[in-house]
Structure 1
Amino acid sequence: MVPTGSGPLRNGGVSFWYSAAGLPEPRPALPGPADADVCVVGGGFTGLWTAYYLKKADPGLRITVLERRFCGYGASGRNGGWLYNGFAGRGAFARRYGHERAQAMQRAMDGTVREVVRAAAAEGIDADVAEGGVLEVARTPAQLARLAALVEEERAFGDTERLLLTAEATAARIRVAGTLGGTWTPHGARIQPAKLVRGLAAAVEALGVRIHEGTPVTGIRPAAGGAPARAVTPHGTVSARFVLRATEGFTAGLHGERRTWLPMNSAMVATEPLPASFWAEVGWEGRETLGDLAHAYMYAQRTADDRIALGGRGVPYRFGSRTDADGGTQERTVRQLRRILARFFPAAADARIEQAWAGVLGVPRDWCSTVELDRASGLGWAGGYVGSGVATANLAGRTLRDLVLGEDTELTRLPWVGHTVRRWEPEPLRWLGVHGLYAAYHAADRQEADGRPSTSPLARAADLVAGRR
């Protein structure tokens, strides 16, 4: 057993990642009205990577990044630290645009994992990168059946290095209690997200990009009547040839965007550092990112200082697309995540949870990420990553670069470019639907934990209603 320590649980505010890495010095707010060639709204991974690649491609561009709080305050500094090749909507892209184009998207994502690692090293960013791949485990017969189907699907999309593991082979990597089997792919790495986003912001600034923090954007206006596109803030308006929206889970807070992407909540906890005796029992020497095949799935990593950081869905959605900006986590969610920790790692059942936090991610109605640039209006955007944004944001940034520069490239021909999706339903249908879906997923997981050998019809029905199948 792990010896417990003392001390209160830190809940909300910044994530554990920023508590460990430290907050950067605040950058000044926008001093007044300004002009730019490109104005990026949002200082997370999408906005920063976009500015980075644009400035690298054309150093003469005048680029301004506007951030409501500080760079990485949102999902970019709150996520599970999974840099991996998954992306939202692959199956839907294959059905709508054909298998070949969806496969091209998958190849681009495979390369994106390597690109992020390369770019971080080139910029001297120490983000605790560990290229251990992604391990996903099955702990029920139904999950095991889905696992085999997942491996077959991934191989069909080109992941020939993906392995289907027995229970023994899975335990040789990480000994998760009750594991029946697993799958591993090399296309993934563990990172410390706050270190990556903080280092990326510094690199972008060093290139000559202007970053203004403490500058909320209250409206984005298209070009009209000879006037360029504009980003409106309380400190003044930035006029630019292109205004690019990179606000992900906070998009619903912009005028006219409340039903564009649903702000889904995800919560995390971090344990105290665990002793060598625990790691001798559990393994995890490869520092793989860890997930499972439950419908209400978990995600975890072994941190550089030997903690377990573990996350999952808690309260999935707040009425009216509201977001809890301070990242507070309900006590019942903390208890739920602690139970998952204890089920997966009984030896950590008594470990102290030192910090809990939450963040919001963007979910389109069809669960498909998108990138778009309308040259006539001067407006563009990227996002809707459904929790897979650490790598996908980098691909979005490079794609927006090519779109802004007017180049026809392999990236601009990917199926998510210009992909359209209908808006979410109005309230109260939105709230009822999302909470109903997650109630069905949790019920399905309970049925499967009780021994159901195949995927619960509740989960299949929920997937159909959600638009995920």
Structure 2
Amino acid sequence: MNTITMRPPVAAPKGDRSFWLQSIAADAVTPPLKGSADCDVAIVGGGYAGLWTALRIKEQAPETRVSVLEADFCGSGASGRNGGQVHSWFAEIDMLRALVGEDDALMLCRATADAIEELNGLQASGAIDMDLRLDGWLWTASSTAQEGAWAAARDLSRTLAEDRLHPLQRADILRRTGSDVSYVGIIEERAGTVQPAKLALGLRRLALERGIIIHEQSPVLEIVPGSTPQLRTACGVLSAGKVVLAANAWLSAIAELHAYLYVVSSQVIATAPARDVLEQIGWTDGASICDAQQHVLYYQRTPEGTVVFGRGTGGIAYADRIDARFNRSGDGGADNIREMHRVYPELKHVPVLYDWSGPIDCTAQHLPVFGHLKDHANIFYAMGFNGTGIAQTPVAGRIMASLVLGRDDAWSRCGLVGIEKRTRLPPEPLRYLGARVVRHAIRRKNDLEIINRKPGPVTRFLAGLAP
């Protein structure tokens, strides 16, 4: 019975928190764990995955005593730092089919579309004010190398009678985004944007209202497995019948999961409100927008006219040891500012007021995985959301609830359950050194392709080694 040692968290100082979190003064509202307590299910992580799992368990088995232990405060991690983009899994249906088969891929894609409607219902009922705007999600190309990146997903969706991804031309994109840099793409109409921190705190409030115990500022230092695992924090011990690990990139501390998980950073900036400029160029709605670079750009405008502009930078750390550099890059968001000014030259005189980053947990297949630890059938995990989670974590909650409650159903049997079918990643130091070489190649490839120049064969080969 080996103790599982968790990696100490690196909470972001208030000034390094995301625009989303700072704009609503998000912080902890529940007390840390002190002394001894017990529950039926303990969840490590108070982000989307952990909170949705808690809520789904309560929906299906209201008598279950559920406690959540969050290292900082709910939503302080990836759930409150992302780009606020809401879209279904239909954009990844080809990747899903390759991993889980056609039937499960279609079930999971439809479930994420249903999750978007669930979010819409939560907002319409007044349960969560999340600034949800279903004005569409655009996947676009701004260079010849990016053209058709969506073709496999679009064609498979049509084949399966799910015609959700519709073509866009330059005039459509200009009308919807106010930029003519991207000139072809697709749109998922029933998609859009949220204020992700508002969603996270709204889920926290729902959980508390439904009798779920939440202890913030309670990082789990170690877990002692057994028939009744014990989770130890600095000031307390929580005993539970079952444990759910939903701690994003921090799960890389567990050797069994680290073999399949790698951690990268994503950087985001936010401007001062620029409503007049945006209205002048015709960017007025709440659509979310991505391009098809390998280190993808993703952006939106808020109702107040702030532009939020993100990029998957691929920053890495040796042995996935996450430090303060993952909270803020130190370069003021220079990469993102350069790309934002390429896409929106009209914003060159609008100040950037916020820049932040954060670790993202990825698997080689770029899809999440669920299951239990090999030697501990009562310790479950949910990981690998790869930066796409707002419509996906409500589905993850269903999968996790079925696993935790021992249900034999479509969720517990779906192809995302079980790590054995996933690709094992190289050990250190090969993983770190190889990732640095590949990251450099991807950046060079992106920079050349964006000006319609073709990278050399060595650059293309090395960039192609990315998971």
Q: TM-score, normalised by structure 2?
A: 0.89
Distance in 2 separating the partners of 1:158 and 1:463? 34
Query: What residue is the counterpart of 1:401 in the other structure?
Result: 401
The answer for the alignment partner of 1:363 in structure 2 is: 362
- For 1:10-89, what aligned pairs fall within 5 Å after superposition? 13-86=16-89
The alpha carbon displacement at 1:88 in A equals 9.7
**Which secondary structure does the structure 2 equivalent of 1:146 belong to?**
coil
Letter in 1 for 2:177: I
Instruction: Give the secondary structure class of the aligned counterpart of 1:50.
Output: helix
Offset of residue 373 of structure 1: 4.2
Instruction: Provide the residue aligned with 1:336 in structure 2.
Output: 335
Counterpart of 2:98, as a letter, is R
Partner of 2:292: 293
Match in the other structure for 1:425: 426
* 1:58-137 matches, cutoff 5 A: 58-86=61-89, 90-122=93-125, 124-137=127-140
Measured in 2, the distance between the counterparts of 1:151 and 1:456 equals: 30
The answer for the alignment partner of 1:230 in structure 2 is: 230
**Residue 347 of structure 2: aligned partner:** 348
In structure 2, the CA distance between the partners of 1:88 and 1:245, relative to structure 1 (3 Å rule), is farther
The equivalences for 1:172-321 within 5 A come to 172-223=175-226, 227-254=227-254, 257-276=257-276, 278-314=277-313, 316-321=315-320
Compared with structure 1, are the counterparts of its residues 390 and 74 closer, same or farther at alpha carbon in structure 2 (3 Å cutoff)?
Answer: same
1:11 and 1:357 in contact (8 A); partners too: no
Q: Secondary structure at the match of 2:75?
A: coil
Verify the 8 A CA contact 1:443 1:458 in the aligned structure 2.
no
Q: Please give the per-residue CA displacement for 1:386-431, whole angstroms capped at 9, x wherever unaligned.
A: 1102221111112211222222333233210224335432222121
Could you tell me how far apart the structure 1 residues matched to 2:325 and 2:24 are?
A: 18
2-side partners of 1:257 and 1:148: how far apart?
Answer: 32
CA distance in structure 2 between the partners assigned to 1:438 and 1:208 by the alignment: 45
Distance 1:329 1:158, change over 3 A: farther
Deviation at 1:212, TM superposition (A): 0.7
Question: For residues 91 and 222 of structure 2, what CA distance do their matches in structure 1 show?
Answer: 27
Q: Is the 8 A contact 1:32 1:236 kept in 2?
A: yes
Superposed CA deviations along residues 124-182 of structure 1, whole A, max 9, x for unmatched, are 21111101120122111121243545533443465403211111122121132322212
Which residue identity is paired with 2:41? V
Distance 1:243 1:312, change over 3 A: same
Q: Which residue of structure 2 aligns with residue 3 of structure 1? A: none
User: 1:270 is aligned with what amino acid?
Assistant: A
| CA contact 2:173–2:180 (8 Å) conserved in 1 | no
Alignment partners' CA distance in 2, 1:297 and 1:23: 28
1:46, 1:337 → 2: CA distance?
28
Change (3 A) 1:255 1:205: farther
CA contact under 8 A between 1:44 and 1:197: conserved in structure 2? yes
Task: Indicate conservation of the 8 Å contact 2:71/2:218, yes or no.
Answer: yes
Match of 2:10 in 1: none
The CA deviation string for residues 243-280 of structure 1, in whole angstroms up to 9 with x for no partner, is: 0000111212457654442221111000000032x223
Paired with 1:235 and 1:260, the residues of 2 have a C-alpha distance of 32
Counterparts in 2 of 1:432 and 1:84: CA distance versus 1, 3 Å: same
Compute the displacement of 1:83 (Å): 1.8
SS in 2 for 1:299: strand
Give RMSD over aligned pairs. 2.7
User: Distance in 2 between the 1:368 and 1:287 partners?
Assistant: 26
Q: Is the 8 A contact 2:273 2:306 kept in 1?
A: yes
State how far apart, in whole Å, the 1-side matches of 2:253 and 2:147 are: 40
Q: Which residue of 2 aligns with 1:168?
A: 171
Q: What CA distance in whole angstroms lies between the structure 1 residues aligned with 2:395 and 2:429?
A: 35
Contact 1:252/1:258 (8 A) holds in 2: yes
CA contact (8 A) 1:105 1:415 kept: no
**Counterpart residue identity of residue 18, structure 1:** L
* Counterpart for residue 411 of structure 1: 411
Separation (CA, whole Å) in 1 of partners of 2:150 and 2:423: 31
Distance 1:103 1:460, change over 3 A: farther
Cα distance 1:11–1:149, how it changes in 2: closer, same or farther (>3 A)?
farther
Instruction: Give the count of matched residue pairs.
Output: 453
Distance (Å, rounded) in 2 between the aligned partners of 1:411 and 1:201:
24
| TM norm structure 1 | 0.89
Task: Give the SS at the match of 1:240.
Answer: strand
Structure 1: distance between partners of 2:89 and 2:457: 25
Separation in structure 2 between the aligned mates of residue 448 and residue 456 of structure 1, nearest angstrom: 11
Structure 1: gaps spanning 5 or more residues: 1-9
Identity, in percent, stands at 29
The one-letter code sitting in structure 2 at the alignment partner of 1:451 is N
CA distance in 2, matches of 1:119, 1:381: 26
Assess if the C-alpha contact under 8 Å between 1:137 and 1:183 holds in 2. yes
Contact between 1:399 and 1:411, CA under 8 Å: does it hold in 2?
A: yes
Cα distance in 2 between the residues matched to 1:342 and 1:53? 42
> Which string of whole-angstrom CA distances, capped at 9 and with x for unpartnered residues, describes residues 434-458 of structure 1?
22222222222233234258x9866
- Code of the residue aligned with 1:65 in structure 2: it is V
Pair 1:463–1:228, CA change in 2 (3 A): farther
Partner of 1:384: 384
